[in-house]
């Protein structure tokens, strides 16, 4: 671990950073999956869902950056190559031949829920280690992605 402006003990910083790297792997994987859905979607809902998926991807790219930089701020290394993300992500692979609009909605809703479960676990670990700032970062992401998940689930209710 490198020196950090954080007053937390090294062991706490190490544990929190491990969680951040797990969430980074999930987030990078999810970002690529959202883009696959954005590119390949077909059907009556194309006009609304194609740009909606892009807003998810843009927001997630920013969150991934913040998560990686928090790990480095705590004195750790951020691991974020495509190969590393593929190996460590807890998300299932995306069925890339999917075309139908509502099928993409269902697949992304499921994956966002997996991503959220990981965020909540890592947030609890950060809370246990007394890192309010990392907890805040996770809460912002959880709040936003619960909203994205709601958009998708609401679309499936039709
Ligand atoms: Fe695009």
Token readout for 86 is 């593929």
Query: Among 1, 145, 120, 123, which residue's Cα sits nearest to residue 62?
Result: 145
In the structure, what pLDDT confidence band is assigned to residue 158 with cuts at 50, 70 and 90? Answer: low
Measure 124 CA to ligand 1 centroid, in angstroms. Answer: 35
Measure 52 CA to ligand 1 centroid, in angstroms. Answer: 10
Q: What is the DSSP letter of 96?
A: T
Measure 18 CA to ligand 1 centroid, in angstroms. Answer: 32
> Which residues sit opposite 42 in a β-bridge?
100
Measure 54 CA to ligand 1 centroid, in angstroms. Answer: 6
Measure 46 CA to ligand 1 centroid, in angstroms. Answer: 12
Return d(Cα 126, Cα 55) in angstroms, integer: 28
Mean pLDDT, rounded, for 2-8: 93
Measure 99 CA to ligand 1 centroid, in angstroms. Answer: 16
Measure 97 CA to ligand 1 centroid, in angstroms. Answer: 18
- Count Cβ atoms within 10 A of the Cβ of residue 155 and give its class: 0-12 exposed, 13-18 middle, 19 or more buried: middle
Mean pLDDT, rounded, for 42-65: 98
Measure 62 CA to ligand 1 centroid, in angstroms. Answer: 16
Measure 36 CA to ligand 1 centroid, in angstroms. Answer: 10
Return d(Cα 57, Cα 151) in angstroms, integer: 14
Mean pLDDT, rounded, for 41-63: 98
Measure 41 CA to ligand 1 centroid, in angstroms. Answer: 11
Does residue 121 have a pLDDT over 80?
A: yes
Does residue 87 have a pLDDT over 70?
A: yes
């Amino acid at each position: 671990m490198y020196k950090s402006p954080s007053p937390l003990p090294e062991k706490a910083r190490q544990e929190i950073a491990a969680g951040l790297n797990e969430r980074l792997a999930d987030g990078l994987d999810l970002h690529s999956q959202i883009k696959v859905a954005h590119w390949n979607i077909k059907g009556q809902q194309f006009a609304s869902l194609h740009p909606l998926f892009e807003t998810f991807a843009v927001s997630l790219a920013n969150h991934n950056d913040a998560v990686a930089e928090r790990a480095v701020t705590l004195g750790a290394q951020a691991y974020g190559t495509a190969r590393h993300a593929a190996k460590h992500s807890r998300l299932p692979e995306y069925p890339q031949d999917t075309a139908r609009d509502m099928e993409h909605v269902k697949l992304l809703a499921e994956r966002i829920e997996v991503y959220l479960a990981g965020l909540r676990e890592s947030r609890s670990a950060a809370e246990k280690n007394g890192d309010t700032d990392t907890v805040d970062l996770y809460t912002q992401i959880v709040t936003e992605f619960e909203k994205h998940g709601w958009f998708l689930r609401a679309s499936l209710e039709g």
